[in-house]
Amino acid sequence: MNSYKVRDLNLEYFFCIALLVACAFFYPLPSILLLAFVSPLLPRQFNRLCAPVAVLFLTVFYSSITPVNDWVEYLKVYHGIQYGEISPLHHENFGGGLEIGYPLFMLIVGTLSGYNDYALFFSSYALIFWLVNKFTEDLDPKFRPSFIIFACLGITFLIAASYVIRQIVSILLFLIAIQSGSRRNMCALFFLSAAFHISSIINIGVYL
């Protein structure tokens, strides 16, 4: 009898999540926000699904909207690399040529996608959200999905309102670096952090 109750309860939870995801297509951001609040109340197997579902949706959603702020400038650089007009290893607007992280990222994405605009948006958001996921690995599993969703929502609003894409990647790499148990990994991540935004040197200097 108990096994039937557990199965029925799981089906109810699954139905609720499926309904919430369906609602997200009509009222995306409120639905994702609601998912962040209810995820700690769900059984573990469903709780774990909340963050991947929400992050995937946010990646697709924000990759599909009209580019603003940073994206407008980055698309010029992206296609400049495509046509050989810009070198990914030296561009004055990227820390005087020192911040090679994102131009190289553009080169890789462009080479693999034929310099498709959507591919750049999608892969950039995917990179940021993956770094958020890595940074939160040690959090309480019950509340981790909520934190990931709130963090990703906050980051997407910040990107839409200002020019901070490379800074966000740089900060996340720095935070992951100071969590690393290996000095070699820490140094490599510090280098990557500075390669995405030179201001990371200040964070590294203060930490060391």
Tell me the pLDDT tens digit for each residue of 72-82: 888 888 999 98
| Predicted pLDDT at 24 | 60
Q: Which of 19-33, 59-73, 189-203 has the lowest mean pLDDT?
A: 19-33
Write down the pLDDT at residue 1: 42
pLDDT-above-70 percentage for the chain: 86
- Tens digit of each residue's pLDDT (9 = 90 or more) over 87-115: 888 878 787 778 888 889 999 999 999 99
pTM given for the model: 0.81
CB atoms within 10 A of CB 32: 24
What is the average pLDDT across 184-199? 89
Is residue 153 predicted with pLDDT exceeding 70?
A: yes
Q: 8-25: b or e for each residue (b if 16 or more CB lie within 10 Å)?
A: eeeeebeeebeebbeebe
When the pLDDT of each residue in the chain is averaged and rounded to a whole number, the result is 81
Taking a C-beta distance cutoff of 8 angstroms, is the pair 157, 32 a contact? no
- Which three-class secondary structure state does DSSP give residue 17? helix
What average pLDDT score do residues 51-62 get?
A: 80
**Rounded Cα gap, residues 172 and 74, in angstroms:** 20
DSSP single-letter state for residue 96: G
* Predicted local confidence at residue 5, as pLDDT: 46
